[in-house]
Structure 1
Amino acid sequence: MSDLIKRSISLSGHRTSIALESEFWAVLDAMAQERNLSFAALIGKLDASRPPERPLASALRVAALQQALQQASDNS
């Protein structure tokens, strides 16, 4: 795993910073591209669908993991 990389994004009109490893950012970038969404739009959708008790960074890691597992399943 690599070091944490911070990205800043506006969610619901509020600026926030998220720190994730580069591997997670790569999967999230690919997810946005596959869904024809801007990166901010994808993060906004994931933010809106997460349970309120789950931190945003954790929700993004879970979404990236689920995407990677789905792709691995599709390729086997």
Structure 2
Amino acid sequence: MSQLVKKSFSLNGHRTSIALENAFWARLQKMAGERTLASIIVKFDTERDQNQSLASTLRLAVLKHLEAELASCGATKHDAS
């Protein structure tokens, strides 16, 4: 079973810890690209529904990102046929 890994960040002037599986941390880092991991966390934090936890928001952002990648691959594969 995958274990949660906690990381701490400063969001809007206060420290917070977020617990996610390593696979999510790795994908978020990839999504951040040249930016820092903290910057992408702040971005999703400011855009999220305040009724949803930040961890859930981040997991859903990764899912949405992967779905977009898959759709892009599917379109490219289809166009090449």
The answer, yes or no, to whether TM exceeds 0.5 is: yes
Say which SS state the counterpart of residue 63 (structure 2) adopts: helix
Percentage of pairs with the same residue: 46
Alpha-carbon RMSD: 1.1
Asked which structure has the greater CA Rg, the reply is: 2
Does residue 11 (structure 1) correspond to residue 31 (structure 2)? The answer is no
What is the distance in 1 between the residues matched to 2:48 and 2:55? 11
Deviation per residue, 1:9-55 (Å, 9 max, x gap): 1111111110001111111101101xx32111110010000001011
Gaps in structure 1 of 5+ consecutive residues: none
Code of the residue aligned with 1:41 in structure 2: it is: S
Q: Which runs of 4+ in 1 moved over 3 A?
A: none
Higher relative contact order (CA 8 A, sep 6+): 1
SS in 2 for 1:75: helix
Point out where structure 2 has 5 or more consecutive residues left out of the alignment: 75-81
